[in-house]
Amino acid sequence: MAARNTYVRPMAGWYRRNPRFTAYMLREGSAVFLALYALILLWGLTALAGGAESYQGWLDFLSSPLSVLLHLLILAAAGYHTYTWFQVAPKATPPLALGSRRLPDQAIIMGGYASFALVSLVILIVAW
């Protein structure tokens, strides 16, 4: 039986009460910048499909100081997303048996970062 006259503490501002929660909210907030970048890419794709002139318009935007500033923010967000994504990846990974032992979380995390580094390198090389 539940007690009477209990006091329920309000949740408002909960994410400001513990740095761990603030870090979580920043992680979630990175999604806004990822969405923004998806829109930038979509704009580029649309401009590309519209022909050389419209595409040049997008390239002109990329050269603008506003774009560079925006991209810096997006890069920080995307980097934080990548970092936190692989940190939590082991939590959703079913236990993978390696002989008699389970694949340790750190191995999964490092494997993630290694894949990221490889993929990034390939993209940068192809772009060059």
User: What is the C-alpha separation between 93 and 106, in angstroms, rounded?
Assistant: 12
The site map against other proteins for 34-73 (x = CB under 8 A) is xx-xxxxxx-xxx-xx--x--xx--x--xx---xx-xxx-
Dihedral, CA atoms, 69, 74, 77, 80, nearest 10 degrees? -100
Residues 49, 42: contact at Cβ < 8 Å? no
For residue 27, the minimal CB distance to other proteins (Å) is 9
Of residues 71 through 90, those in contact with other proteins by CB under 8 A are 71-72, 74-75, 78-79, 81-82, 85-86, 88, 90
Regarding 21 and contact with other proteins (CB under 8 A), the answer is yes
Regarding 98 and contact with other proteins (CB under 8 A), the answer is no
State the amino acid at position 16 in one-letter form: R
Residues in contact with 112: Cβ distance below 8 Å, sequence separation at least 6, in sequence order? 85, 86, 89
Q: Which of 103, 109, 114, 128 binds other proteins (CB under 8 A)?
A: 128
